[in-house]
Chain A
Amino acid sequence: MRGYFGEFGGQYVAETLLPALEELEDAFYRASKDKRFKDEFDSLMKDYVGRPTPMTHAKRLSEHFGLDVWLKREDLCHTGAHKINNAIGQILLARFMGKKRIIAETGAGQHGVATATACALFGLECIIYMGSEDIKRQHTNVERMRLLGSEVVPVEAGSATLKDAVSEAIRDWISNIDTTYYLLGSAVGPHPYPTMVKYFQSVIGGEARSQILERKNCLPDAVIACVGGGSNAIGIFSAFIDDPVELIGVEAYGKGDGMHAASISFGVPGVLHGAYSFLIQNTDGQILGTHSIAPGLDYPGVGPEHSWLSTTGRASYSLVDDSQALEAYALLNRLEGINPALESAHAIAYLGTYAMKNKGKTVIVNLSGRGDKDLDIVLEAGI
């Protein structure tokens, strides 16, 4: 069915939003077939974002784990994370649709910064919803968004993190449907968002696949990426879906039992923010608070396509906790001179577990963002 991945996905939204989703879907399909639209996206990816991003052969890290590790360097994108790929793609779509007011949610602030950047580039009004808890944790990104000319609106409701920022953005959208474009940052939400975000993020996988074939002359054994909502993961997985390559998503296990954000590993399917997917919820269907040291992973749901990849067995989803992520953050700094985002450090940390049974194998890790934003958190943790 349209907009579904197996039973997952769909459009579970207030009736007011439905025509806006139809308009968006229609514009997206027209744009994705429009040569000028694609050319403009490609040229911005090249000359503004800095694509293709490099594929770094991490030699000392490889030696450390007894693996052959390659890093897809999304941390080198303009603004410091993969989020800009989707933000540029959707901002072009917003222009294509004639929308002048852009709203977005942000957790770690990376999507907020990317959206604010894209709005600055095109002179569009930009409002970013951010949980007040995240504003405290990621204040440098808040300052960046303000410098870029965006308004950052603190969200106090609920747990005051990413989930509540998404809810508030949805409420804004319902209330300003004619003028406003909702630039959703992850592969979550109602159709067509998961499909559209994957489309713009699949540039990561496309490049990674050709780069590894060119450099190593073979496909990797595995591709590893962290999963919150799952946009960087779906972006890199998309190119390897039909290959004999293991796809591994890494969820945030936080502080462990009851204090994590691992929706696929511990959740039950349900509806949040317009789609049916794995959710961290209680037996009454109330969404529960989550925890991860990485604000970008601190979300009780996950993109519906990941739920489908998990139930079909095409991808597997593993766990890395806060302290493992912190260790990996330090490790990558020390061994490779690369400072990863705490989100991406989850994927690096999983190499330890992977290496136990897979010595000598070739893996690509999607290094989804850089870690300057996390210095306060890391220093506070005593690393």
Chain B
Amino acid sequence: MIAESIAKSSQKVIPYITAGLPDLETTGQIVDAIARAGAPAIEIGIPFSDPTADGPVLQEASHLALKAGFTMDALFSRLSEWCSSSHIPIIVMTYINPLLRKGMRKTLRRFKDCGISGIIIPDLPRDASGVYNLCSSRGLALIRLLAPTTKRERAKEILGQCSGFVYAVSVAGVTGPRDDLPDGLESQVRFIKGLANIPVCVGFGVSRKSQVDRILKIADGVIVGSYLVKGIMHSHDPVNAVTSAYQDLVE
């Protein structure tokens, strides 16, 4: 479902937004606005107290959302509505600890029941087959990350337990805008495309139209997070701010 949506959509930029920033009501409005702007899918980040894979922008976003009272129960009370009104696949990004604390099986089932299409977990255990099997049996895509440091054997192992699309991390680093993406990006994406039979989407560091264009020459999609979330944090009208930031990237 995620792969089809990316394939048939004219826009190839998948936005990431932090749930509950500045509040869940606004997150819902952003989801709707971005879906109307033509996004092929939306990635919704669950705030976490200790996001070790995130740079300053998404750290602050998590911190603010938690301070504003984000809870998993409040999120679950909204997710179904977002999924049905947006008409595009919604993907959840969460560090593993909230899943473990709420119960992995139960929480994955709740996501599925709400209409969530896939899940991204940046700190899966080395052997993630248990989580992959739970996702598969519930019809949830488990989107895995491949880093620039990932070697061939590991890449094959990951791709054997990856669905929806594969998330190619552009830089060896944390999330957040970069002025320059690595020179080796094209060869990294070609390497992954040679192994994968699902779409390859590139994320981390992307904040400019020129970077989006460069990536879309070789990849099936691109994920933009910090750049959009910054727009949400620094505006009095976050829905318009994030929508126009999104449109600047795709037009």
Question: A: which residues have CB within 8 A of B?
Answer: 1, 3, 10-20, 157-158, 163-164, 167, 170-171, 174-175, 177-178, 268-274, 276, 279, 281, 283-288
Number of interface residues of B (CB under 8 A): 40
* B53:A14 contact, CB within 8 angstroms: yes
Chain A residues with CB under 8 Å of B52's CB are: 14, 167, 170-171, 174, 273
Q: Which of B96, B127, B172 contacts A271 (CB 8 A)?
A: B96
Cα A288 to Cα B48 in complex, Å, equals 11
A-B residue pairs, 5 tightest by C-beta? A285-B101, A285-B98, A16-B147, A175-B173, A15-B147
Chain B residues with CB under 8 Å of A273's CB are: 50, 52
Cα A207 to Cα B118 in complex, Å, equals 53
Known: A171-B174, A268-B101. A11 touches B49 (CB 8 A): no
Chain A residues with CB under 8 Å of B98's CB are: 284-286
Interface of chain B residues 172 through 202 with chain A (CB within 8 A): 172-174
CB distance from A100 to the nearest CB of B (A): 17
Interface of chain B residues 122 through 173 with chain A (CB within 8 A): 122-127, 144-151, 154, 158, 169, 172-173
Chain A residues with CB under 8 Å of B149's CB are: 15-20, 177
CB distance from A277 to the nearest CB of B (A): 11
* B101:A287 contact, CB within 8 angstroms: no
CB distance from B160 to the nearest CB of A (A): 15
* B172:A10 contact, CB within 8 angstroms: no
Q: Chain B, 48-82, contact with A by CB distance < 8 Å: what is the 0/1 string? A: 11111101000100010010000110000000000
Q: Is B250 an interface residue (CB 8 A)?
A: no
Chain A residues with CB under 8 Å of B154's CB are: 18-19
Q: Is B100 an interface residue (CB 8 A)?
A: yes
* A158:B173 contact, CB within 8 angstroms: no
Known: A174-B174, A175-B172, A175-B173. A12 touches B101 (CB 8 A): no
Q: Which of A13, A18, A268, A272 contacts B50 (CB 8 A)?
A: A272
Residue of A nearest to B48 (CB): A286
* A284:B96 contact, CB within 8 angstroms: no
Q: Which of A164, A270, A288 contacts B100 (CB 8 A)?
A: A270
CB distance from A281 to the nearest CB of B (A): 6
Most A CB contacts (10 A, CB to CB) among B52, B101, B144, B173 go to: B52
Cα A15 to Cα B49 in complex, Å, equals 20
Instruction: Please report whether the interface of chain A is mostly helix, strand, loop or mixed according to DSSP.
Output: mixed
Q: Is B99 an interface residue (CB 8 A)?
A: yes
Cα A113 to Cα B125 in complex, Å, equals 32
Cα A167 to Cα B55 in complex, Å, equals 11
* A12:B50 contact, CB within 8 angstroms: no
Q: Is B87 an interface residue (CB 8 A)?
A: no
* B49:A10 contact, CB within 8 angstroms: no
Known: A11-B126, A286-B66. A270 touches B97 (CB 8 A): yes
* B50:A163 contact, CB within 8 angstroms: yes
CB distance from A104 to the nearest CB of B (A): 16
* B124:A12 contact, CB within 8 angstroms: yes
Cα A18 to Cα B149 in complex, Å, equals 8
* B145:A10 contact, CB within 8 angstroms: no
Chain B residues with CB under 8 Å of A157's CB are: 59, 63
Chain B residues with CB under 8 Å of A1's CB are: 127
Cα A272 to Cα B59 in complex, Å, equals 15
Q: Is B105 an interface residue (CB 8 A)?
A: no
Q: Which of A15, A167, A171, A268 contacts B146 (CB 8 A)?
A: A15
* B123:A13 contact, CB within 8 angstroms: yes
Residue of A nearest to B60 (CB): A157
Chain A residues with CB under 8 Å of B124's CB are: 12
Q: Which of B71, B123, B127, B158 contacts A14 (CB 8 A)?
A: B123
Residue of B nearest to A163 (CB): B50
Q: Which of A15, A19, A158, A281 contacts B97 (CB 8 A)?
A: A281
Q: Which of A11, A17, A178 contacts B125 (CB 8 A)?
A: A11
* B53:A12 contact, CB within 8 angstroms: no
Cα A288 to Cα B66 in complex, Å, equals 12
Cα A164 to Cα B52 in complex, Å, equals 9
Q: Chain B, 14-43, contact with A by CB distance < 8 Å: what is the 0/1 string? A: 000000000000000000000000000000
* A10:B147 contact, CB within 8 angstroms: no
Apart from the given pairs A158-B49, A175-B174, A273-B52, 12 other A-B contacts in the complex at a CB distance below 8 Å: A14-B123, A16-B148, A167-B51, A170-B52, A171-B53, A171-B55, A174-B53, A269-B100, A271-B96, A273-B50, A287-B49, A287-B50
